[in-house]
Amino acid sequence: MELISQQEVFDGWLRRYQHHSDATATDMVFAVFLPPQVAAARVPVLYWLSGLTCTDENFCQKAGAFRLAAKLGLAIVCPDTSPRGLDLPDEHESYDLGSGAGFYVNATEQPWADHYRMYEYVVEELPALLEAALPVTADKGIAGHSMGGHGALVAALRNPGLYNSVSAFAPICHPTQCPWGRKAFTAYLGPDESQWEQYDATLLVAKAEEPLPILIDQGSKDDFLAEQLKPELFKQACEQAGHPLTLRMHPGYDHSYYFIATFIDDHLRHHAEALGLKV
């Protein structure tokens, strides 16, 4: 890993690294906040998956999470949202496909299949790299926003025992039934919709092997709520499966990082408690 930058913040450190990824066959950049407790011991990690058009920097600059993370002794890792620097056909033509829009799937269709393997990168490659190279433990939670909330839910539901905790802000809950998801899945996974089901949290929860409690916050003034996000369908699926879900609807809040910054401390405490940290 090549260290790109480092800033001290709340007696901890925010670092950005670049490294070669075997999963994406490209160089990838990620950010990591290391709390001051790493001076004495390894600490657990929260993986934060960002949404459409974002990079590793959006959460770091806008969420306001590091003060409490430093107090809790919780590292936070922010991957990018897609491979970069490829210039594939149609990769940069729209905000919801290609660059900045990896959807945390392993693409099987060309021209995406050789590089757009963000599921493998986030779930397998990046944690293995960091646990070997940085003072972090294998205990981890996963969270995200919008497209990243979709990615967090899918990663947790598909990998029982891998994560101690999961949460999301305004996630794309049922991507096989919304325009964003259908566009991305058609391009990345092909026309066979049975192949899409492995990346749809609303469909996965019925067969989840671990009843890992899920926390979701959603704003009522979110412009994408009805057409793209569909939390009510995820709630119905959780109720039918008996899967523990806390879905909090917040009047007046939208899809922005103002919303995330308002409630991020609740999510950090949710993860810290599951990770055995003093809350």
255 is catalytic: yes
Those residues whose C-beta lies under 8 Å from the C-beta of residue 156, and which sit 6 or more positions away, are: 142, 162, 163, 166, 212, 214
> Helix and strand tally (H, E) in the chain?
9, 9
The active-site residue out of 80, 200, 217, 222 is 222
The active-site residue out of 255, 267, 270, 271 is 255
Rounded Cα distance, 136 and 45, in Å? 7
Structural domain that includes position 232: 2-275
User: Number of folded domains in the chain?
Assistant: 1
Which CATH number characterizes residue 157's domain?
Answer: 3.40.50.1820
256 is catalytic: no
Rounded Cα distance, 155 and 232, in Å? 20
pLDDT above 90 coverage of the chain, percent: 100
The active-site residue out of 50, 99, 146, 165 is 146
Rounded Cα distance, 125 and 118, in Å? 10
Structural contact between residues 178 and 228, judged by C-beta atoms closer than 8 angstroms: yes
* Token pair belonging to 123: 């779930």
pTM above 0.95, yes or no: yes
For 74-107, write each residue's pLDDT tens digit.
999 999 999 999 999 999 999 999 999 999 999 9
Which letter, b or e, does each residue of 59-80 get, where b requires 16 or more Cβ atoms within 10 Å of its Cβ?
bbeebebbebbbbbbbbbbbbb
For residue 106, give the DSSP letter.
Answer: B
pLDDT at 279: 84
For 137-179, write each residue's pLDDT tens digit.
999 999 999 999 999 999 999 999 999 999 999 999 999 999 9
